[in-house]
Amino acid sequence: MSQAPAVLRGQVVDAETHQPIPNAQVGVADNRLGTSTNDDGRFVLAIPPAYQQARLEVALLGYRKHSQALPPLPGPELRIELRISPAALGEVQVTASVVGIVREAVARIPRNYPVRPTQLTGFYRESDNEPDGRPRYLVEGLLTVFKPGYQQRGDDGEIRIQQSRKVDLRPAGQLVRIDWAGGPFITQYGDFVHRRAQFIDLKHLRDYDYRLAPGSSYAGRPVFVVVFGPRAGNRRADFAGQMYIDQDTYAFLGAEWHYTAAGLGRSPNRADSRSLRVAYQPYAGRWHLKTVWWQTRARLPIGPPLNYFGEFLTTAIDTAQAARPDYVERAQYHDVFLRNAVAYDSAFWQGTTTLLPPESLRKALLDQQRQQRADSLFRPTTPSAAAGTAPGPAEPTQQPDNPLGRFFSRFRYGASVGAWPLAVARAELAVAYAPAGYRFGAQTTALITDQALTGWSRVEYQYELTRELTVTLATQYVFRQFSGRGWAAGLSYQHNLRPRHRPLYGRVGLAYTCQTVGRQLGTFTNPDDGLRVAGTNLGADRLSLRLQTQADALQPTLGLGLELSHKFELVADASYLLPLRTRTQLEIAEESGFFLTRSSATVDLPAADVSLRVNGQPGSTLPWRQQHWLLSVGLLYRLR
């Protein structure tokens, strides 16, 4: 019993009026233990034996901080009087107490925010503006946002675009169009409470300075206004701004912040400036995301700087146990919202956006003038409306056809690695080359070691004739003990085996491939300016020799492809090589001079001016042989 915590009871009152003070912060041992006073100014705190010799601190914005040694415990109720601080009209530096407020607010997140999945329905708008404020495009959409419980900080949830309307005001036929991606995902990245943004992450609190600022209400509720920014000399803090913490529940009601210079440097998407503003609203006993506002100024490699603006406003909250949307219904981060495939339906749009009063909608979104301009673009006058009859649904604004854009939208490219089917036996090679009529000559030996696996890499380019049928062109390289270049061209077909889930594609293909595999023999001095080999002039000072085989084959392929996102696909293929022709060659290549002008020539073996000995015996067959099975795994990327 002697090791049990002792209970400290107390009441905090105003020293002049003797009225109780609610929401005062009570801390022991630099706020390792803490609580706050109730409406009567009272508090109860259990003090373990280890802290019973520590100091007690009481702080509240507008009052001087009170500090004293703990009285003997247990004991009678402690009465503490706080006096008005002369600094009440300015910022009050009570860093330790402010950190305690932030810690308490983080600790109460499971109590103040949903722990079960919820769905938000909301209105989204984004625009991309020139420096003079003229929009390059304007997009509005209705989103469904699936949010896991706020205790699951590593799971952002899913986004589904229900409806949208859009207008592209950029010049038709513009060759380079830089479109913002991931715009609707501000509902995830702006939710600083769910993601535990760095400025409320307990691991990073030491990187920031926190202080209380003037102001005591937010959205009609009493709050602590906490200003935060990097500590002096600290470059690990990415943000600076202020947040609003409810005095009664310690819920984060909102925040506004911007990226520091260090934060912009670490951001994956470089920008000149980036700022956010986020607010939460109460519903069914919990706090839910209400608004997100995001603005970025970026200086792009091409063209003038652009100002990106994005905004989300919640219009409905569903706390039922909603199921996540299917994969095919989810928006992907790299999708450009400007070109989503959702059809425009004015009747549906009007019926949905009227969930909010027009006044609230105008205040929360862009200015009225731009709204009217967008409406005039989206809802052109129809002959029936001019005649006095009820107008039908408006059609979406049609943009000029862009053949170049449609052409590039069908491209995919990717890379893969695998094992090239090459059987290698240990052997010693001796090669002598002396072309008739020239002074150039070379003699060399090379040791070939046993090898069971030869590495192989491939860069592939695809053009989609249809969604399933693709023309393929690839360049191929082998490496390790041997090296070589090759190419392949053919057709491939893939079919989605799971149309209502994350796509898993069955892949079949047929290609014609030509691949060289060889061994470098060394570099030699060339005394002949006019040396010609197989009709090719090789006048460089230094020439290299290489023994190689060149194989032409048909390559049928079977494989699987798993879509990681709408942009990326993981592929695994097994191919079988059907040899058509194989040649053994000696390659002579220029090694000096400007690399773009260097030439090479090949001599098919056997040849009169080439002597080849394998393990001391004359011959024309090299000690490696191509097998049939070829395995690879890689990634494909879709441009649009």
Q: Same structural domain for residues 239 and 364?
A: yes
593 found inside a domain? yes
Least confident window among 86-90, 211-215, 258-262, 374-378? 86-90
Would the pLDDT of 508 be above 70?
yes
pLDDT of residue 350: 59
Range of the domain at 507: 409-638
Would the pLDDT of 93 be above 60?
no
Q: Same structural domain for residues 464 and 524?
A: yes
pLDDT of residue 366: 46
281 found inside a domain? yes
Q: Same structural domain for residues 360 and 504?
A: no
pLDDT of residue 596: 78
Would the pLDDT of 374 be above 70?
no
Q: Are 463 and 447 in contact (CB under 8 A)?
A: no
Cα(133)–Cα(306) distance, integer angstroms: 9
Provide the mean pLDDT of the chain.
83
Q: Same structural domain for residues 187 and 149?
A: yes
Question: How would residue 500 be classed by pLDDT, with cut points 50, 70 and 90?
Answer: confident
Tens of pLDDT, residues 432-445: 999 999 999 999 99
Q: Same structural domain for residues 264 and 347?
A: yes
Q: Same structural domain for residues 341 and 447?
A: no
Give 468's Cβ-side CA count (13 Å radius).
11
pLDDT of residue 351: 54
Would the pLDDT of 365 be above 50?
no
Would the pLDDT of 367 be above 50?
no
92 found inside a domain? no
Question: How would residue 411 be classed by pLDDT, with cut points 50, 70 and 90?
Answer: confident
Q: Which of 330, 363, 379 is the last residue of a domain?
A: 379
Q: Are 353 and 143 in contact (CB under 8 A)?
A: no
pLDDT of residue 639: 72
Handedness of CA 108, 111, 114, 115 (dihedral sign): positive
Q: Which of 335, 357, 379 is the last residue of a domain?
A: 379
Tens of pLDDT, residues 530-565: 999 999 999 999 999 999 999 999 999 999 999 887
Would the pLDDT of 120 be above 90?
yes
Question: How would residue 85 be classed by pLDDT, with cut points 50, 70 and 90?
Answer: low
Tens of pLDDT, residues 568-603: 899 999 999 999 999 999 999 999 888 778 999 999
Question: How would residue 368 be classed by pLDDT, with cut points 50, 70 and 90?
Answer: very low
Q: Same structural domain for residues 34 and 122?
A: no
Q: Same structural domain for residues 371 and 424?
A: no
Q: Give the CATH number of the domain where residue 59 resides.
A: 2.60.40.1120
Q: Are 612 and 519 in contact (CB under 8 A)?
A: no
Q: Same structural domain for residues 62 and 141?
A: no
pLDDT of residue 333: 81
pLDDT of residue 392: 35
pLDDT of residue 597: 84
Q: DSSP strand E in 48-151: where?
A: 55-59, 66-69, 78-82, 118-129, 135-147
Q: Are 314 and 288 in contact (CB under 8 A)?
A: yes
55 found inside a domain? yes
Comparing 510 with 99, the larger pLDDT belongs to 510
For residue 259, give both structure tokens.
């990226």
Domain count of the fold of the chain: 3
Q: Same structural domain for residues 63 and 203?
A: no
382: phi then psi, degrees, rounded to nearest 5: -105, 155
Residues with Cβ < 8 Å from 410, sequence gap 6 or more?
463, 464
Q: Give the CATH number of the domain where residue 551 resides.
A: 2.40.160.20
pLDDT of residue 352: 53
pLDDT of residue 607: 92
66 found inside a domain? yes
110 found inside a domain? no
449: phi then psi, degrees, rounded to nearest 5: -100, 160
Cis peptide before 117 (omega within 30 of 0): no
Comparing 399 with 280, the larger pLDDT belongs to 280
Q: Same structural domain for residues 31 and 80?
A: yes
Transcribe 383-409 into DSSP letters: HHHHTTSPP-PPPPPPPPP-HHHHHHT
pLDDT of residue 355: 39
388 found inside a domain? no
Cα(432)–Cα(263) distance, integer angstroms: 63
Q: Same structural domain for residues 465 and 596?
A: yes
Transcribe 435-495 into DSSP letters: -TTSS--EEEEEEEPPBS-EEEEEEEEEEESSSSEEEEEEEEEEESS-BEEEEEEEEEEEE
Over range 150-161, report the average pLDDT: 88
Question: How would residue 345 be classed by pLDDT, with cut points 50, 70 and 90?
Answer: low
Question: How would residue 515 be classed by pLDDT, with cut points 50, 70 and 90?
Answer: very high
pLDDT of residue 634: 95
Tens of pLDDT, residues 168-179: 787 776 667 777
Would the pLDDT of 165 be above 70?
yes
Transcribe 517-575 into DSSP letters: EEEEEEEEE---TT-EETTEE---SEEEEEEEEEEEEEEEEEEEEEESSSSEEEEEEEE
Question: How would residue 364 be classed by pLDDT, with cut points 50, 70 and 90?
Answer: very low
Least confident window among 89-98, 168-177, 308-317, 444-453? 89-98
Question: In this prediction, what percent of the chain has a pLDDT beyond 70?
Answer: 85
Would the pLDDT of 503 be above 90?
no
Q: Which of 60, 85, 110 is the last residue of a domain?
A: 85
397 found inside a domain? no
